[in-house]
Amino acid sequence: MLKVLDSAAVTVVLGFGLTALIGLLLRLIH
Amino acid sequence: MDGMLLEVGARWLHFLGALVWIGHNYATAVNRPRYVPLEAADLADPDSPRQQELLSREHGTFRYASLVTLGSGLLILWHRGWLGGALTLQPGLAPLGMGMWLAVLMVLNLWFVLWPHQKRVLGFVPAPLEVRLRASRVTFLSARVNTMLSIPVLFLMGAGAHGAALFG
């Protein structure tokens, strides 16, 4: 699964996705 | 005045440390967008171009920059009396706190996953060739995980001052 990180572009896209998820989580907990 | 000077100094170090540390990751992502596995021949010969290249990039600056970044960030939070609230993700401080927890994870990843493996890859710690080759994969993935985590961390650092409006 970590193989997706072989690509820098996919790493950056995942970073943006994670940002959105964390933002959602923060809105949910407060 | 003294307190303000301390905070401005800590903020400056925080930005500077983060740029040096994560800049290193971003430079690698730009220069080496796809994973290129090390070959046994690269590691067997200490004078191979690939191993020399790895050694020339091993200067420790970015590892210590991670400590400066984390230390200065904690100092700012402590100085403002926000440390406890951020640690426990209290309303208003949750974005900064979440960013801080992710950054702690990144520092732990760097010092306790990447660096011990990198020492094997570079031969600072003796290990059989197969172990060194496996370790080189771990160092790559560990660095990429930090690159990925840096994106939400930078957002949360930026959202810090205005995070309350965004996240309540």
Residues of A in CB contact (< 8 Å) with B are: 2, 5-9, 11-12, 14-16, 18-19, 22-23, 25-27, 29-30
Whether residue B48 has pLDDT greater than 70: yes
Largest CA distance in chain A: 36
Q: What mean pLDDT is predicted for residues B130-137?
A: 95
Handedness of CA B68, B70, B71, B72 (dihedral sign): positive
Mean pLDDT by 10 residues, chain A (30 residues): 93 97 90
pTM (2 d.p.):
0.91
Which B residues 106-125 touch A at CB under 8 Å? Answer: none
Q: How far off is chain B from A20, nearest CA to CA, in Å?
A: 8
H-type alpha helices, B32-90? 40-44, 49-56, 61-80, 83-87
- % residues pLDDT > 70 (chain B): 95
Q: CA B73 → CA B10, B69, B83, distances in Å?
A: 7, 6, 10
Contacts of A9 in chain B (CB under 8 A): 33
How confident is the model at residue B1, as a pLDDT?
A: 62
How confident is the model at residue B55, as a pLDDT?
A: 82
Grade residue B52 by pLDDT with cuts at 50, 70 and 90: confident
How confident is the model at residue B168, as a pLDDT?
A: 58
The better pLDDT of the pair B70, B40 is held by B70
How confident is the model at residue B50, as a pLDDT?
A: 82
**Predicted ipTM?**
0.95
How confident is the model at residue B136, as a pLDDT?
A: 95
CA count, 13 A, side-chain hemisphere, B38: 29
Residue among A4, A13, A22, A24 with most chain B CBs within 10 A, to mutate: A22
